[in-house]
Amino acid sequence: MESYQLNDHSCELLMEQSMLPTRLLSCPDQVCYDVTYEAKALRVRNNENGKETIWHLSMQSTQLKLQWVDSSSAQPEVPELLAAVEAAFVNYPHQKKLYLSVSSRQFTELFDSGVLVRTEDNQCIVYAELFWQQARIWHSSIRHQIFPIHYIFSHGRRHPLRPPKPQGTVYRRYITWLGGTLTFRAIDPVADLECFNRWMNDPVVTEFWQESGDLVKHRAYLSGIQTDPHMINLIGCLDDAPFGYFEIYWAKEDRIAPYYDVDDFDRGWHVLIGEPHMRGKPFVTAWLPSISHYLFLDDSRTQRIVIEPRIDNHKMLRNLAQCGYAHLKEFDFPHKRAVLGMLSRERFFSEQLWVPRSTTSPHSVSLS
């Protein structure tokens, strides 16, 4: 795991920039929209057919309000509304709720799913904590229904049968402070092998992964992950350019399980950032919250994410703390002394940890 540097000034700039007129690429229900915001006008344009809806977004007193104002056209469709709401929260990242003015008769499904909540005085509210749990906006391959529970045994451990491994892109999110789209996609063990081999032989990566070797070794390594049902491996990309490798695992079947009171749907992850130019200041604030977000979206029963970095990986530990991971204890793996880190679903969504934190808070920890 490589180091990152994000000082107080750069964090403050991120916060300030997120309040400026911004462009956003939003893809709810796999429909992609370009969204722009300037002078309180929010324009949502369908990239495929060019259709545009116009919204008014403003802060009135302490209330964030979004209103559909293009009465000359047909009512906005559900994906257009979702894209507009995402843009509203991106432009005002610390707001807990959004007041929405739009005819609600056609949006029954959004009330049913928790996107919209009706108040006692018949107003429509979108709560950020509920909205950011809507997999249809960022999760590119979400199943139509939650995978059912059927218990099996493997390697002497009882655990739920896991769903088939995903294919293609599984997560997509536009990162305003990078001006690009971050994605996670399933690794292609053939097409990505050369890149994976190069990353694994980078001295910075080797220091913590200790998996340097030739193509034959790394082909076998990836093959082992592909045949292991409790793990998936992903490639992180920015605007389709690969920058890092992520291993995701179900903790119940993993080597970490004996070291804490593991639940059936706990997830964990490992990471390497292979491209040196992506180890810089704001990148960790993009991919680290996003991998956490993806895991919580992937299965709504996942209440905790765990990670076990080496105890001497001080910069990684600081980054994890900044992104909401509690350091629970130190423990000994056969191959390393580690720290058990944990992020709860409730904390991630209630504290809006997908947003980079300002380091000016007296209780915050600086990313490095």
Catalytic residue among 48, 308, 346, 351: 308
Question: Is 245 buried (19+), middle (13-18) or exposed (0-12) by CB count in 10 A?
Answer: buried
Query: Is there a contact between 223 and 203 (Cβ–Cβ < 8 Å)?
Result: no
Query: Is there a contact between 283 and 260 (Cβ–Cβ < 8 Å)?
Result: no
Residue 113 CB contacts under 8 Å (≥ 6 apart), including other chains? 134
Q: How far apart are CA 16 and CA 326, in angstroms?
A: 27
| Separation in Å, CA 172 to CA 31, 231, 319, 348 | 12, 20, 22, 18
Assess whether 308 carries a catalytic annotation.
yes
Would you state the structure tokens that stand for residue 229, as one six-digit string? Answer: 């049902």
Sign (positive or negative) of CA dihedral 101, 104, 107, 110: positive
Q: CA torsion angle for 10, 12, 14, 19 (degrees, to 10)? A: -160
Q: Which residues belong to the active site?
A: 308
